[in-house]
Structure 1
Amino acid sequence: MSIARVTEISATSTKSFEDAVQEGIRRASKTVRNIRSAWVKEHQVRVADGEITEYQVNLMVTFVLDD
C-alpha cells in the first residue's frame, strides 16, 4: 500500500500558464521525490499598462511517501 501527500506550490512564468506549470513541476522535482500528479488549483495573470506581464499558477502536487 502507498501513502501519498498533497502540497500546494505557486509558480510563475513570463511566457504562459503551461510554462508556469512546467517550471513549477521541474523545480518541485529538485527537492520532492516520487511526484505522481499535479492539479492546477488556480491561475491568474499580472497586468501592467494593459498587457499581461506574468502568468501564475497554484498547483496541488501529489507525491508518494517513502517507506
Structure 2
Amino acid sequence: MSSVARVTTITVRSDTSFEDAIRSGIERASQTLRHISGAWVKDQTVTIEEGKITGWQVVIEVTFVLE
C-alpha cells in the first residue's frame, strides 16, 4: 500500500525562544491537520529592538499524510 503526503508552510513567532515557536507551531498545526509525520525548520529569524532580542520566528514545512 502506498501513501501520499502533503507539505504546508507555517510561520510562527514566539516571545521566548525558537524551541517555543516550533513547539507552538506543531501543536497548532495538529489542531487542524491530521497524520502529521514530520516537520522541517526552513528558516529562523529574530527581531531585535535596542540591541536586545524581542522575538523569535520560524518558518516550518509540516508534512502530513493524506487520508
The TM-score bracket by the shorter chain reads over 0.9
Return the TM-score normalized by structure 2. Answer: 0.96
Gaps of 5+ in 1: none
Offset at 1:7? 0.6
Offset at 1:31? 0.5
Offset at 1:32? 0.6
Aligned to 1:43: 44
Indicate the percent of aligned positions where both proteins have the same amino acid: 53
RMSD, aligned α-carbons: 0.5
Q: How many residues align?
A: 66
Matched, 1:55 2:29: no
How big is each residue's C-alpha offset from its partner over 1:5-47, in whole Å with a ceiling of 9 and x where there is no partner?
Answer: 0010001111110110000000000111110000000000001
Aligned to 1:21: 22
Return the TM-score normalized by structure 1. Answer: 0.96
Identify the structure with the greater helix proportion: 2
Gaps of 5+ in 2: none
Structure 1 runs, 4 residues or longer, greater than 2 Å off: none
